[in-house]
C-alpha cells in the first residue's frame, strides 16, 4: 500500500468515524501529537530538527456480551507529523480480545509482558533518552497471545506467547511473563514494583526488575535489566535511576542509565514538563550519551504534547 493510499484510507476512516457515536463504548478515537524542536549533536555534526516523538492515533472499543464477558479491541498507529516520510504510518499495538472475571486475553500485535511491566518508570519514554537505546527487552511484536490477570490484593500477572511465525522468533516459540504490584501510574498506590522474564523473545533471554515510588510530590524510580542472546553469543546488563519532583504545574526530572547490553555506555537526561491543561503540556530536555568507544551524542529539545 503506497503513501497516498494509506493517507486516503486514514482520511476515509476519519470521515466514517465522524458519523459514528464516538462517545459510545463501541468506538473511541484517541491519540496524541508530541513534537519537539531539537538541536542534535552526533559528535561530528550538529543539526536542527523537528522530531515527532511517537505521535499516534488509534481507535478502541468494547462490546458487552453478557454480565461476565466483554469483547475488546485496539488498533493504533504511530504517525510521523514532522518529517516527509514515505511510510508515515507505523503499526503499534493492534489486537482483539475478551475480558471478564478471569482477566483479559488479547490476540494480535502487542507489547510483551516484560515491556508492559515497565509501567511509567521511564521518565523520557519516546524521547532520545528512552531506555530502548541501551536496554534489550522493549519489544512490541506481532503473532502474540497475551493474558493479563485481574488484580489479587494489588498483584497482577501477565504472560505473552510469541509464536514461532514471528520474524524475530528464529523458529522458536517465545514467552514473556511478569508479576506486578501496585498502580503503575502511582495514583491508587504509592508503590509500583515488577519482575519480568523473557525466554526466546526476539532472540534474547531477558530479566527485568522495576520499582517506582511516590513520597508526596517526589517520585523515585529504578530499573535493572539483564539480557543475553538465546544462543549464548553475548550478554549484558544495565540499570536506570531517576527522580521527578512536582512544583505547581511544573515537573522537574532527572534520569541516569548505564549499560553494556544493547549499547555500551551511559546517558543522563534533565528535563521539565509544564502542564498548560489536562491534555496539553510543554516540555524541554537535554540528553547526553557517552559510549565506551569514546563517541558521544547529545540532544537539546523544546516541544509540546497534545493528548486527545
Pinpoint the alpha helices (H) of the chain: 3-18, 113-116
pLDDT, tens only, 251-260: 999 999 999 9
Mean pLDDT, residues 254-279: 96
**Residue 213 confidence (pLDDT) above 80:** yes
- Per-residue pLDDT for 151 more than 90? yes
22 has pLDDT over 60: no
Reduced DSSP (H G I as helix, E B as strand, rest coil) percent helix, strand, coil of the chain, to 5: 5, 60, 30
**pLDDT digit string (tens) for 196-205?**
999 999 999 9
Is the model's pLDDT at 120 over the cut of 50?
Answer: yes
Which residues have C-beta within 8 Å of that of residue 55, sequence separation ≥ 6?
A: 31, 32, 33, 34, 35, 78, 79, 80, 81
The residue-averaged pLDDT of 282-287 equals 98
- The answer on pLDDT for 214 being more than 70 is yes
Query: Closest Cα partner for 212 from 303, 117, 73?
Result: 117
Q: Are the beta carbons of 106 and 94 closer than 8 angstroms?
A: no
Q: What is the pLDDT of residue 219?
A: 98
Which stretches of 112-217 are assigned E, i.e. beta strand? Answer: 140-148, 155-162, 174-181, 191-201, 204-215
At 6 the pLDDT is: 53
Residues 6+ apart with CB under 8 A from 4: none
- Distance, in Å, from the CA atom of 203 to the CA atom of 220, rounded to the nearest integer, reads 32
What is the pTM (predicted TM-score) of this model?
0.89
Query: 3-307 architecture in CATH?
Result: Beta Barrel (2.40)
Q: pLDDT (tens digit, 9 = 90+) per residue, 126-146?
A: 999 999 999 999 999 999 999
Amino acid at each position: 500500500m503506497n503513501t497516498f493510499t494509506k493517507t486516503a484510507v486514514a482520511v476515509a476512516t476519519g470521515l466514517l468515524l465522524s458519523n459514528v457515536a464516538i462517545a459510545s463504548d463501541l468506538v473511541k478515537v484517541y491519540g496524541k501529537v508530541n513534537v519537539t524542536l531539537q538541536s542534535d549533536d552526533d559528535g561530528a555534526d550538529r543539526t536542527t530538527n523537528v522530531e515527532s516523538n511517537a505521535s499516534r492515533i488509534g481507535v478502541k472499543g468494547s462490546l458487552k456480551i453478557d454480565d461476565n464477558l466483554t469483547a475488546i479491541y485496539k488498533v493504533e498507529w504511530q504517525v510521523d507529523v514532522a518529517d516527509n516520510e514515505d511510510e508515515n504510518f507505523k503499526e503499534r499495538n493492534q489486537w482483539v480480545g475478551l475480558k471478564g472475571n478471569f482477566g483479559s486475553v488479547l490476540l494480535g500485535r502487542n507489547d510483551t509482558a516484560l515491556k508492559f511491566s515497565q509501567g511509567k518508570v521511564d521518565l523520557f519514554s519516546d524521547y532520545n533518552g528512552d531506555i530502548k537505546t541501551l536496554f534489550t527487552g522493549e519489544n512490541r511484536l506481532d503473532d502474540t497471545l497475551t493474558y493479563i490477570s485481574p488484580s489479587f490484593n494489588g498483584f497482577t500477572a501477565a504472560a505473552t506467547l510469541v509464536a514461532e511465525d514471528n520474524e524475530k522468533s528464529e523458529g522458536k516459540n517465545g514467552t514473556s511473563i511478569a508479576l506486578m504490584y501496585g498502580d503503575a501510574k502511582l495514583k491508587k498506590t504509592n508503590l509500583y514494583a515488577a519482575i519480568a522474564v523473557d525466554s526466546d523473545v526476539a532472540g534474547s533471554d531477558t530479566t527485568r526488575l522495576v520499582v517506582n515510588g511516590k513520597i508526596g510530590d517526589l517520585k523515585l524510580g529504578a530499573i535493572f535489566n539483564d539480557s543475553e542472546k538465546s544462543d549464548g553469543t553475548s550478554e549484558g546488563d544495565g540499570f536506570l535511576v531517576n527522580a521527578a519532583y512536582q512544583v505547581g504545574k511544573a515537573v522537574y526530572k532527572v534520569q541516569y542509565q548505564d549499560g553494556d547490553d544493547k549499547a555500551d555506555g551511559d546517558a543522563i537526561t534533565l528535563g521539565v514538563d509544564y502542564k498548560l491543561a489536562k491534555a496539553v503540556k510543554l516540555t524541554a530536555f537535554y540528553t547526553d550519551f557517552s559510549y565506551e568507544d569514546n563517541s558521544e551524542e547529545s540532544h537539546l529539545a523544546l516541544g509540546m504534547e497534545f493528548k486527545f
